[in-house]
Amino acid sequence: MERKIGIFEMDGMTIEYSLIGEGKPILVMHGGHSNCHEEFGYQSLYENGFSIITPTRAGYGRTSKEIGAELKLACYYYMKLLDELKVEKVHVLAMSAGGPSGIYFAAKYPDRVESLILQSAVTKEWLIPKDIEYKVGNIMFRPPVEKAAWKLISALNNRFPQWIFKKMISSFTTLSVDQAMLKINEGDIEEMRKMNNRQRSGRGFLIDLKNIDEISIRHLGMISCPVLIMYCQHDRLVPNEHAYHAQEHIPLSELYEADAWGHLIWLGKEADTVSRKVISFLQRSS
């Protein structure tokens, strides 16, 4: 699976992006702390003949933080990236904290979107200043602290992969560690190690926390394409209410509960089932 990295420049702004495969295009809005090197769920999409376009979202990687001043502005530049790549229509796949970007893009540019998939996605008010997670995030995941934090996490994870997995798993699931370990797949520990090695926050996570406020019920109601909402009942990071909220307000939506161990629905013993559901939905929506 060859990944090509590109840079798109416009109006003094820079968007880093990656391209994988050939075929019907999918625009991926990656989650928090990620970038155009995201990997979760990609192999199945590639093997089933889809191409994958992943812009590094505002403030992450080499993408200008300034385009994240508003979701409206960020999505405009993502749309112009599609113009640059001569891509007329895409399926949009939005993960976790990338949910608001996917929702806004589908609502704002309906003629460019064939379908929308929300995976463990934020769809409404999420972390707020009084939450401990918000306070910790504002300390750990802002420059220059975030660079040192991710360097330490990745170093420890490379040295003690199983220990770090067990220490971190409770951040992603409401299950006990013992219960969650019964649901993990053989490769999950390695996948988390790889995830922690490619992650950085830059200024992107702080932008995510701010931009969530720009998504409203009105935007959900404006989405006219078919929508698949995927969630796990054991997700600790993004509560199930986000999935229910999206289904209630998006007209052509269906809800799918992944039999996973937590937020990372691309991992676990039933990961292949999740992948098959994604492919089936995309094929029906093409």
Q: Which residues are catalytic?
A: 96
- Give the angle 24-54-109 at the CA atoms, nearest 5°: 70
Alpha-carbon gap, residue 8 to 221, rounded angstroms: 31
Q: Residue 48 in contact with residue 279, Cβ under 8 Å?
A: yes
Helix (H, G, I), strand (E, B) or coil at 188: helix
Q: Which residues contact 171 (CB under 8 A, 6 or more apart)?
A: 236, 237
- Order the strands of the 50-55 sheet from edge to edge: 3-10, 13-20, 50-55, 24-29, 90-95, 113-119, 227-231, 253-257
Backbone angles phi, psi at 276, to 5 degrees: -65, -35
State whether residue 193 is helix, strand or coil: helix
Structure tokens at 237: 């990071």
Dist. CA 188–CA 273, nearest whole Å: 15
Residue 54: alpha-carbon gap to chain centroid: 10
